Amino acid sequence: MEHNNHFITCTILIILLTLLGILRQDCECTSPSLAPSPDLTFADVRLAVVYPIIQSFKLTITLDPLGITSSWVGSDICNYTGFYCDNPPDSTSATTLAAIDFNGFHLAALTLDGFIDQLPDLAIFHANSNNFSGTISPKIAQLPYFYELDISNNKFSGQFPSAVFGIAGLSFLDIRFNFFTGAVPPQVFSQALDALFINNNNFMQKLPDNFGSTPVQYLTLANNKFTGPIPTSIGNASSTLTEVLLLNNYLTGSRAIVRGEEPSKPVPIEQLLHEDRANMLEAGEERGVGREEELHPWDS
């Protein structure tokens, strides 16, 4: 009797293993490949490299109301909607993917990881007014030419994206209108940026003492939960700062401090701080900061 049971058990195991093997072979045979088809001809090998990265990202898009991704087909990557090519600094004869502008496309994806951080020559990424979320991968710091990041008006959350501190050439950072929370690391005010926009999030802290160390021209911290006095170090920024917006926080102080009159380092009148009474400061005129799009990052 035991011998028969053993025989039946072995027979069932053999059948199951056989079926698993067949299923595995079927899965392997039907698995789609994102590698370029041999029939595709690319203008440059650098474009062939980014092709599977773009196609992989395309599969993660969960919302595309404008049909943007329908153009992401074939080898002419430079004519994909939202993608811009240029000659990279290390080879003026080469053609590579240099910039991405998804502004206003209303695309949705759970993460950008594995996309922008894998595009080796990317210099600019603009994605204002989409539905992206997740985090920014630290691998973005490995991109040698990257200098401009705009992920404003999306659905990013969590702590301040510290991955940006590893980007040596970063000059423009815009993370406004998201759901970031917690504290803003002090080192952001020592980073060599031209513009820093972090307004309309949920940052909560006192401004750090090195606040005035920032070399930026444009600085917006409005509509957060910053508290306490404005550091007198703000006067140190007078030589570079063109506009700063702090409205709708819980800050205290006087315009004399924020204009740099304490200590004796006056800020020119055209560089006035724009405040409102929600800051418990005197109200000022609010203006927007304009910016021209530049999608050929290495033009001389």
Return the SS3 of 170: coil
At 36 the pLDDT is 64
At 239 the pLDDT is 85
- Residue 87 CB neighbour total at 10 angstroms: 17
d(CA 84, CA 77): 8
pLDDT band at 299 (very low <50, low <70, confident <90, very high): low
- Residue 64 CB neighbour total at 10 angstroms: 16
% of the chain residues with pLDDT over 70? 72
pLDDT band at 62 (very low <50, low <70, confident <90, very high): very high
DSSP strands (E only) in 18-86 = 83-86
At 34 the pLDDT is 61
Mean per-residue pLDDT of the chain: 81
d(CA 1, CA 133): 62
The average pLDDT across 25-50 equals: 70
Write the single-letter amino acid at 30.
T
Instruction: Say if residue 279's pLDDT is above 80.
Output: no
57 CB burial (10 A radius; 0-12, 13-18, 19+): buried
The average pLDDT across 284-289 equals: 33
At 235 the pLDDT is 84
Please report where in the chains the tokens 């092709």 appear, as a residue: 51
The average pLDDT across 122-146 equals: 96
pLDDT digits (tens, 9 = 90+) for 221-243: 999 999 999 998 888 887 899 99
Instruction: Say if residue 65's pLDDT is above 80.
Output: yes
Per the DSSP assignment, residues forming a β-bridge with 250 are 227
Task: Give, as one character, the DSSP assignment of residue 85.
Answer: E
With vertex at residue 135, the alpha carbon angle to CA 228 and CA 249, rounded to the nearest 5 degrees, is: 20
d(CA 169, CA 71): 31
Q: Are 165 and 142 in contact (CB under 8 A)?
A: no
Tokens of 25: 């072979």
pLDDT band at 263 (very low <50, low <70, confident <90, very high): very low
Task: Give, as one character, the DSSP assignment of residue 135.
Answer: -
C-alpha 138: how far from chain center: 11
pLDDT digits (tens, 9 = 90+) for 165-211: 999 999 999 999 999 999 999 999 999 999 999 999 999 999 999 99
Domain boundary assignment for the chain: 1-30, 46-279
Q: Are 284 and 274 in contact (CB under 8 A)?
A: yes
d(CA 188, CA 210): 10
At 53 the pLDDT is 97
The fold adopted by the segment(s) 46-279 is 3.80.10
Instruction: Say if residue 145's pLDDT is above 70.
Output: yes
Task: Single out the residue of 94, 103, 102, 101 nearest to residue 121, CA to CA.
Answer: 94
Q: Are 115 and 87 in contact (CB under 8 A)?
A: no
Tokens of 37: 């088809």
Higher pLDDT, 57 or 24: 57
